[in-house]
Amino acid sequence: MKTDMSATKSGPIRIAILFSGRGSNMQTLANHIATPQVNAEFVLAVTNRPKAGGIEVCEKLGVACLIIDHEEFDSRAAFDAELDKALRAAHVDLICCAGFMRLLNADFVNGWPDRLLNIHPSLLPKYKGLHTHKRALEAGDKEHGCTVHYMRPEMDDGPVIVQKTVPVLDSDTPDSLAARVIEQEHIAYSDALDVVLKKMAGN
């Protein structure tokens, strides 16, 4: 079942955030959504890891957090179906993946056309997948960064919404580079959300 792309919404856009880790991007997005100028509400968080640090973030925010443990499902399709069911039951309009370490299948992704965002720690199309900071250093790149994009069925693929760059320093390690990139991730995701919400409102 596809979400209707043709209709615009006058009320607040209902946002779900998917996460697997400590939830730093989720916290930043939640703070941004809570500002008066943003016509949206953070209605649901979903994690696939029962011990994810971001669960505590949700508790502090007072946001409903649903745990759907992927290890309890026999297949990726079964997990995705349960996730889709939960999101639709919450009447979600827009999904933001923020450190969600699961590949979603084509049926799921295609069911949310341009309503499914992802953030990736590289300047896509460079360095899809894992260990992006290490790979950028090994390649001798002079700049690195992050990308917020519309999700497509292929991993880390889809139209770019916002990119932010950082210089790569001679003294950088993967950890030091990652620390500077995540600062830009927090800015990039809020900027990208503004772009998408404006588009969804028909402006």
What is the set of active-site residues? 120
Query: Residue 46's closest CA among 109, 90, 4, 112?
Result: 90
- Return the structure tokens found at 145: 């960064």
Cβ atoms of residues 104 and 125 within 8 Å: no
- Residues 124, 135: Cα–Cα separation, whole Å: 13
Give strand pairing partners of 17.
Answer: 45, 96
3-class secondary structure, 94:
strand
Cβ atoms of residues 42 and 33 within 8 Å: yes
Cβ atoms of residues 86 and 66 within 8 Å: yes
Measured in degrees and rounded to the nearest 5, phi and psi for residue 15 equal -110, 135
Q: Do β-strands 160-167 and 40-47 pair in parallel, antiparallel, or remain unpaired?
A: unpaired
